[in-house]
Amino acid sequence: MHSAMRSLLSVAGHSFSRLRYNAYTLFLFSKSDIKTTLIPVSFFAIGAAPLSPVDSVSHAIQAVVWIWMHLLHFNLSNQVRDPEEDLANKPWRPLPSGRITLENARMFRYIAPFVCMIVSLLYSPAVFYASTAFAILIPMYHELHGDQHWLSKNLMNAIGYACFATGATLVARVDRSHLDVTGALSIFIISSILATTIQAQDFQDVDGDKSVGRKTLPIVFPNLSRYTPLISLLLWSFYLTTLWEVGRVGTIAFNALAVLVGLRYYIFRTAKDDEISYCLYNVWLATAFAMPGYWRFYKETAAF
């Protein structure tokens, strides 16, 4: 009896260890993009969707999980394409660290889009269309080298974020079959923001991008590109605070953050400096993503 119990506990302990190991491996695939994609898009989706008064927490959690699933899909596709690139820059990732074989990672890479689309179809055809568009975009971005030139990279990033935002906002909504006017406008605006500001992520990766032949904006226009964060973030800050009717204190703070981020990119130019600037840019972006939620809560409800 005791022997059987020890065997059972041993099997359970081993299974738990494998589960924990595999869960951490999946986390490492998407770790770099948690602050850049998962958190900002989650803020956006929860804010842009009129949440159910009954199931708001459940819908919000489901939206976050939906975003993470698609983010993992993107990360798998990105990291199996050229694992050697991560040896120098991100050796802690699952492939360069040896946590998973390239063969297994590729298998998961091809399974991931089907899992995402099947789960999305369970919500609604509209969520399924967003997931399908994302699945089509990924090979265009990676295998067809859409990320090699700054113009196609910026546009594809904007479309990819639109897929993220559309699917997640629908999942967070009460009615998952369509977007309302506020949700659709919010997604159009946030996609436009990404199309004009996403080069902020490229400054810290100039050396690595040069080594693989990418032509990002900081590489093609090394001096001119340093002006773009300050100009674009200030213009968007003025527009967003006006559109979403942000109060005076919030407007001043948001514009001051845009100036801080823009000046940092212009003045401080080492890779470490650019990494810090990019973190601050993501604070600005997450705030921008949250503004539709602010408007829904404080302005839209006050109108009724």
Residue 8 lies in a domain: no
In this prediction, residues 294-302 reach a mean pLDDT of 73
Residue 11 lies in a domain: no
Residue 25 lies in a domain: no
In this prediction, residues 155-163 reach a mean pLDDT of 93
Single pTM value for the model: 0.86
Residue ranges making up the domain that contains 180: 35-303
Residue 104 lies in a domain: yes
Q: Whole-angstrom Cα distance, residue 50 to residue 180?
A: 9
DSSP state for residue 199 in the 8-state scheme: G
Q: The dihedral of CA 303, 287, 31, 213: what is its sign?
A: positive
In this prediction, residues 147-168 reach a mean pLDDT of 92
* Number of structural domains found in the chain: 1
pLDDT digits (tens, 9 = 90+) for 74-102: 999 999 987 777 777 788 899 988 899 99
Residue 216 lies in a domain: yes
Count CB neighbours of 181 within 10 A.
7
pLDDT of 3 above 80: no
Residue 295 lies in a domain: yes
pLDDT of 35 above 90: no
pLDDT of 14 above 70: no
Residue 269 lies in a domain: yes
Mean pLDDT (the chain) is: 89
For residue 154, how many C-alpha atoms fall within 13 Å in the half-sphere facing its CB? Answer: 16
pLDDT of 302 above 60: no
Q: Whole-angstrom Cα distance, residue 127 to residue 109?
A: 21
In this prediction, residues 260-264 reach a mean pLDDT of 96
User: Would you state the pLDDT for residue 9?
Assistant: 63
